[in-house]
Chains A and B, each alone.
Chain A
Amino acid sequence: KAGVTQTPRYLIKTRGQQVTLSCSPISGHRSVSWYQQTPGQGLQFLFEYFSETQRNKGNFPGRFSGRQFSNSRSEMNVSTLELGDSALYLCASSSGKFYEQYFGPGTRLTVT
């Protein structure tokens, strides 16, 4: 079974631009969660989508948004990029079982 895939793997954007990151979960998994990892703040939960609905949201500004499609693929969007948005963005998928959460390789975003 293929793992969680994320595209692109690396991205460089300019402050003020917007960016869209994509995540394809493990086949059959309906839950996709997004996390931001920075050296200063560590790993922080952004949001989770389950069956195309946002089920949970972390403490991030409205510039961070996401969506999930009927095939469970998810996209995350960050508008009006700031330098502090430079981070590794990780997506994780689950079938909904309490003990599952499998991560993708991440997208490393650099904002200049």
Chain B
Amino acid sequence: AQKITQTQPGMFVQEKEAVTLDCTYDTSDQSYGLFWYKQPSSGEMIFLIYQGSYDEQNATEGRYSLNFQKARKSANLVISASQLGDSAMYFCAMRPSGSSNTGKLIFGQGTTLQVKP
């Protein structure tokens, strides 16, 4: 069964420091996509970064980078230079292969990040 595991229910980081949020996934698909979203207390899911299973380079978007280790089936999110506004819940998600699955994401349980001033 396809599954996303986020083992850190909550994390603290000091402002301006870097933090890594863990994500491991389980799939037998060769082609899949991995996403990270941020969910502030308002509830909206904000897209952060995407990594395709065939992408050779790790994805980066501003202060966000995705540490993709395919053999270990891990897709950790690295946030550099944390800001107070980064305090939120973070979700890792996977899109299975197949054209009928382009609209389906499987989510992990999330990690709550708190940035300390």
Instruction: Give residues in A with beta carbon < 8 Å to B.
Output: 31-33, 35, 42-45, 48-50, 55-56, 58, 88, 90, 92, 94, 96-99, 101-106, 108
Contact = CB atoms under 8 A, between A and B. Distances in A.
25 contacts: A33-B104, A35-B105, A43-B93, A43-B107, A50-B102, A55-B103, A56-B103, A56-B104, A92-B103, A92-B105, A96-B102, A97-B102, A99-B33, A99-B50, A99-B52, A101-B47, A101-B95, A101-B105, A103-B45, A103-B47, A105-B42, A105-B43, A105-B44, A106-B43, A106-B44
A45 B91 contact: no
B35 interface: yes
A44 B91 CA distance: 12
Contacts, number: 70
A92 B105 CA distance: 10
Contacts of A92: 45, 103, 105
B5 to A, nearest CB: 12
Q: Give the residue among A42, A97, A98 with the most B Cβ atoms within 10 A.
A: A98
